[in-house]
């Protein structure tokens, strides 16, 4: 912070960078009254939409899977399966 050689070198480097930017082709047509409009590329917008849709359908699938499991536990097939497992456990103990 207090070294004058480093401060001078940084100022000179900054001057060279700003000079190169100001005189580059990217600055053609840019003036004091120029406004810059930032736009999001279409690819980024589509990626965000796809990611949101994927997240929605993933969460919907998880909710449907849980509801399906709850409904399956109320069926006669599941109750018969649980009774079968209980009988197997009881036969192993005997």
pTM of the model: 0.52
Q: Encode pLDDT of 51-62 as tens digits.
A: 999 999 999 999
User: Does 59 map to a domain?
Assistant: yes
- Region of 28 (left: φ > 0; alpha: ψ -120 to 50; beta: rest) is beta
**What are the tokens at 75?**
């069926």
Residue 94 lies in a domain: no
**How many whole angstroms separate alpha carbon 16 and alpha carbon 4?**
18
- Asked, for residue 11, whether it belongs to a domain, the answer is yes
- Domain carrying residue 22: 4-77
Number of structural domains the chain divides into: 1
Residue 22 counted as domain residue: yes
The token duo for 41 is 């590329």
pLDDT tens, 19-46? Answer: 988 888 777 777 778 887 889 999 999 9
In a domain, 41, yes or no: yes
Q: Is residue 90 part of a domain?
A: no
């Amino acid at each position: 912070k207090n070294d004058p050689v480093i401060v001078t070198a940084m100022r000179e480097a900054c001057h060279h960078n700003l000079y190169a930017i100001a005189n580059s082709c990217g600055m053609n047509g840019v003036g004091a009254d120029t406004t810059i409009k930032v736009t999001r590329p279409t690819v980024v917008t589509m990626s965000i939409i796809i990611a949101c849709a994927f997240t929605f359908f993933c969460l919907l699938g998880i909710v449907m899977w849980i509801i399906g499991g709850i409904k399956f536990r109320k069926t006669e097939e599941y109750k018969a399966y649980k009774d079968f497992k209980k009988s197997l456990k009881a036969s192993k103990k005997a």
